[in-house]
């Protein structure tokens, strides 16, 4: 699995296809695709787009941002889109970033297991509070702690979740946020803040 900030997928799809390492990945988790939801997903050789989102699709001038998950066609795993319903009922949070999810099923000789794979891009300047609200709305079906679940909502608290992307915020420095994602979704932040995910800064060998 490879997580890349591609800063326009249409401009860098060839870089991905011709790299000697990236095309070995079963899944590509892409941020800053700059793809509008109203257009066909940009093709990547030997991959299929299984999930994507850009909350700036309807902007006349700026479609920056956008996330997508691509699956390698030869992968023995399967991936299907999970619809994410993000609203602005309580707060204006759709403008803070993009998030898309896919349910991945992996097959081995001994067992089959599933997990939720997510691509996240947070626009610079977004508050930690809005990031938390975005994650809460998107991941509500997988709330780990029952005290956060309405009695009428069916959830899968044991589903593993892997979120990849760019938060553009040092969330590791916010203890309240870390406690929130741990208590609510049993998520730990394992990012190395010193390493970039931007494609142009990756060594392409």
Q: Which domains does the chain have, with CATH numbers?
A: 2-200 (3.60.10)
Q: Given CA atoms 189, 73, 8, 201 in this order, what sign does their dihedral have?
A: positive
Residue 59 has a pLDDT of: 63
Q: Which of 122, 100, 116 is nearest to 171 (CA)?
A: 122
**DSSP 3-state assignment of 110?**
coil
Say whether pTM exceeds 0.95. no
What band does 203 get if pLDDT is binned at 50, 70 and 90?
A: very low
Residue 57 has a pLDDT of: 67
Q: Which of 14, 17, 25, 19 is nearest to 202 (CA)?
A: 19
Q: What are the backbone angles phi and psi of residue 50, rounded to the nearest 5°? A: -110, -15
Burial call 88-97: b when 16+ CB within 10 Å, e when fewer: eeeeebbebb
**Who wins on pLDDT, 87 or 3?**
3
For the stretch 73-123, pLDDT in tens is 999 999 999 887 665 544 446 678 899 999 999 998 888 999 999 999 998
What band does 204 get if pLDDT is binned at 50, 70 and 90?
A: very low
Residue 133 has a pLDDT of: 84
Beta partners for 97? Answer: 122
Residue 91 has a pLDDT of: 47
The answer to whether 148 and 132 are in contact (CB under 8 A) is no
The answer to whether 102 and 69 are in contact (CB under 8 A) is yes
For the stretch 53-78, pLDDT in tens is 987 766 655 667 899 999 999 999 99
What is the distance between the alpha carbons of residues 39 and 34, in angstroms, rounded to a whole number? 11
pLDDT for 153 beyond 60: yes
Q: Which two tokens stand for residue 116?
A: 């939720």
Q: Which of 68, 78, 79, 72 is nearest to 24 (CA)?
A: 72
């Amino acid at each position: 699995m490879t997580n890349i900030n591609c800063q326009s997928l249409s401009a860098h799809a060839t870089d991905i296809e011709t790299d000697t390492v990236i095309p070995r990945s079963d899944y590509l988790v892409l941020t800053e695709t700059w793809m509008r939801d109203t257009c066909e997903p940009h093709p990547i050789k030997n991959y299929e787009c299984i999930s994507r989102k850009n909350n700036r699709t309807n902007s006349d001038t700026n479609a920056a941002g956008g996330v997508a998950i691509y699956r390698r066609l030869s992968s023995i795993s399967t991936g299907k889109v999970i619809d994410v319903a993000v609203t602005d009922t309580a707060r204006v949070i759709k403008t803070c970033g993009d998030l898309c999810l896919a349910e991945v099923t992996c097959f081995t000789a001994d067992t089959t297991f599933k997990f939720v794979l997510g691509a996240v891009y947070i626009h610079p300047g977004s508050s930690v509070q809005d990031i938390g609200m975005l994650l809460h709305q998107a991941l509500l079906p997988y709330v780990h702690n029952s005290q956060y679940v309405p009695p009428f909502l069916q959830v899968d608290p044991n589903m593993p979740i892997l979120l990849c992307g760019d938060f553009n915020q040092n969330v590791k420095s916010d203890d309240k946020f870390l406690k929130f994602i741990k208590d609510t979704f049993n998520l730990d932040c394992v990012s190395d803040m010193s390493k970039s995910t931007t494609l142009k800064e990756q060594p392409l060998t």
